[in-house]
Structure 1
Amino acid sequence: MKIRGTTKIMGVIGDPIAQAKTPEAILPHFDRLGTDMVCIPLHVAANSLEKAWRGFEVTRNLVGLGITLPYKQAAAGLCDTLDPVAERVGAVNVVRRERDGSFRGYQFDGRGFCSGLLQAGHDLEGRDCLMIGAGGAAMAVACALMEHGVNSLTIANRTPAKAAEVAELANRVTGRRAAKAGPATPAAGQIVINATSLGMNADDPLPLDLGTIDDSMLVAELVAEPERTRLMIAARDRGAAIHSGMHMIRAQVGLIAEHLAEIHG
């Protein structure tokens, strides 16, 4: 890979950012598409997003941004426009500079998560799910799970009102009534999804009581770094099937690269 004066930049912003997997995962897709483009992590400190955003807008060779924790909802409010999926979930994970120079927000998290499950051989239609977390990625995943025909979706969060808000959004967007707020207590046969940031650090508390996990369940992460979180290792030891957050990353980076290349390739 050569960096030239003509090279275009996709940034990935977050706080922290050391866990970001997109920069490494997307580069082969830029190469596959023949683009003169790189992806770099940008550590935007807490409470500095608006200041950083003004810099992004005037950096003319910055063609897009990947958005990770904790900025998925805040970035949606700074975009000039949102695509319909991002608008309905109120969060973005990709921003593209459009042909007119404006920033438009997009949402690939839900599509990437469900595609990753399907590619790994885990059917979604008719399944019962428990998702822990109610942030921007969780909103997108909730809607995508409902659209893929899950039988039920229980959303747990340390702030119950936030879980109820995400459940209502998923019901409203999909025209179904399969989502509800509830406790972080898995039931037999469920897909159990950790949509919190717990697991990125070795000393993070677990998002649920391990004693509730059994071998009838699939435990899935949105956390991609580390690729095997403490929750996944413990769930595997209890006989559960496990699914890394890296599946979501791998499923969506090709789509994101093609999305940027449509205009900037």
Structure 2
Amino acid sequence: MQIDGETKIVAILGDPIAQAKSPELFNALFERHAVNAVLIPLHVPPAKLGAALDGLRGIVNLAGVVVTVPHKMAAAAYAAVLSEAARQTGGVNCLRREADGSWTGAMFDGIGFVQGLHARKHVVRNKSVLLVGTGGAGAGVAHALVDAGVASLDLFDSNAESLQRLENALRSRDGQTLIRRSGPFAQATHDLIVNATPCGMRARDPLPIDLAGARPDAVVADLIMKPAQTRLLEDAEARGLTTHLGHYLLESSVEAIASFLRLIP
């Protein structure tokens, strides 16, 4: 990769940022497409998000930013325009810098997750899902699962406000999916079990979901990308359950994000 005065810059903003897999995936994509662009990680604490985004608006050769934990909901407020998926979820995982310095926000987490499942032959239509975590990524996944035609979606989050916000948004849609509240434990009715919380990034984190009641053919998915094999996925494997890794989401959405940023066709 050669960086010169014509290189387009993309940044990924998060706190923490060491777990981010975006730099290796995006930079490999840019090389494959012979695009003069580079993605760099920026460690931005929540209290500094606004200042960081305001400063980045002034960088003319900045194509945009990828947004990760915990900024996806907060960053949406800085966008002048939001995609339909971003409006639905109330969060963004990508902001494109426009010529006038304004931000256009989009959310690719949900479609990336569903496409990742389909790529590995996991059917979601008419299935029953437990989703633990209703923040930015969880909200994106929830709406995409409804779009994909899941029969039921059981939700849990220790943050009552976040849970209520997503529940209200999903119930306001004119869909057939049954929306319910649940606890953070698998039941024999769940075909797909999803952890959309950051719980599992650190070795000392507790298990975010109790899998004791999971059905033998259930699929257990974790959105965490580092470590790739979280404690939840290790527990699922020990129980003989099928697992779905977090990086499948990003792998399935990286080209769509790069296209949104106008870096590839």
TM range (shorter): over 0.9
Q: Counterparts in 2 of 1:82-121, with a 5 A limit?
A: 82-121=82-121
Helix, strand or coil at the partner of 1:47? helix
Judged with a 3 Å threshold, the aligned counterparts in structure 2 of structure 1 residues 138 and 174 are, in CA distance, closer, same or farther, namely farther
Q: Which letter maps to 1:124?
A: V
In structure 2, C-alpha distance between the alignment counterparts of 1:101 and 1:178, rounded to whole Å? 41
Question: Residue in 2 aligned with 1:242?
Answer: 243
In structure 2, C-alpha distance between the alignment counterparts of 1:208 and 1:70, rounded to whole Å? 20
Question: Residue in 2 aligned with 1:260?
Answer: 261
Question: Residue in 1 aligned with 2:170?
Answer: 170
In structure 2, C-alpha distance between the alignment counterparts of 1:212 and 1:7, rounded to whole Å? 52
Kept in 1, the 8 Å contact 2:149–2:177? The answer is no
In structure 2, C-alpha distance between the alignment counterparts of 1:17 and 1:107, rounded to whole Å? 19
In structure 2, C-alpha distance between the alignment counterparts of 1:13 and 1:161, rounded to whole Å? 24
Question: Residue in 2 aligned with 1:17?
Answer: 17
Question: Residue in 2 aligned with 1:251?
Answer: 252
Question: Residue in 2 aligned with 1:46?
Answer: 46
Kept in 2, the 8 Å contact 1:164–1:181? The answer is no
Query: Stretches of 4+ moved more than 4 A in 1?
Result: none
Q: Which letter maps to 1:227?
A: A
Question: Residue in 2 aligned with 1:221?
Answer: 222
Q: Which letter maps to 2:111?
A: R
Kept in 2, the 8 Å contact 1:35–1:261? The answer is no
Helix, strand or coil at the partner of 1:261? coil
Judged with a 3 Å threshold, the aligned counterparts in structure 2 of structure 1 residues 99 and 55 are, in CA distance, closer, same or farther, namely closer
In structure 2, C-alpha distance between the alignment counterparts of 1:47 and 1:159, rounded to whole Å? 20
Helix, strand or coil at the partner of 2:57? helix
Q: Which moved more, 1:79-88 or 1:107-116?
A: 79-88
Note the residue ranges of structure 1 that are not aligned, 5 or more in a row.
none
Question: Residue in 2 aligned with 1:185?
Answer: 185
Cα RMSD between the aligned structures? 1.6
Q: Does 1:232 align with 2:233?
A: yes
CA offset at residue 27 of structure 1?
Answer: 1.5
Question: Residue in 1 aligned with 2:128?
Answer: 128
In structure 2, C-alpha distance between the alignment counterparts of 1:190 and 1:158, rounded to whole Å? 22
Judged with a 3 Å threshold, the aligned counterparts in structure 2 of structure 1 residues 199 and 32 are, in CA distance, closer, same or farther, namely same
Q: Which letter maps to 1:22?
A: S
In structure 2, C-alpha distance between the alignment counterparts of 1:212 and 1:8, rounded to whole Å? 49
In structure 2, C-alpha distance between the alignment counterparts of 1:48 and 1:37, rounded to whole Å? 25
CA offset at residue 100 of structure 1?
Answer: 4.0
Kept in 1, the 8 Å contact 2:186–2:210? The answer is no
Cα deviation, 1:238-263, whole Å, max 9, x if unaligned, reads 0111000110010001111122235x
In structure 1, C-alpha distance between the alignment counterparts of 2:30 and 2:172, rounded to whole Å? 36
Q: Which letter maps to 1:261?
A: R
In structure 2, C-alpha distance between the alignment counterparts of 1:143 and 1:74, rounded to whole Å? 18
CA offset at residue 55 of structure 1?
Answer: 1.0
Question: Residue in 1 aligned with 2:69?
Answer: 69
Q: Identity rate of aligned residues, in percent?
A: 38
- In the superposition, the TM-score normalised over structure 1's length comes to 0.94
In structure 2, C-alpha distance between the alignment counterparts of 1:152 and 1:160, rounded to whole Å? 20
Q: Which moved more, 1:91-100 or 1:18-27?
A: 91-100
Kept in 2, the 8 Å contact 1:92–1:105? The answer is yes
Helix, strand or coil at the partner of 1:16? coil
Helix, strand or coil at the partner of 2:34? coil
Q: Which letter maps to 2:71?
A: Y
Helix, strand or coil at the partner of 2:110? helix
- In the superposition, the TM-score normalised over structure 2's length comes to 0.94
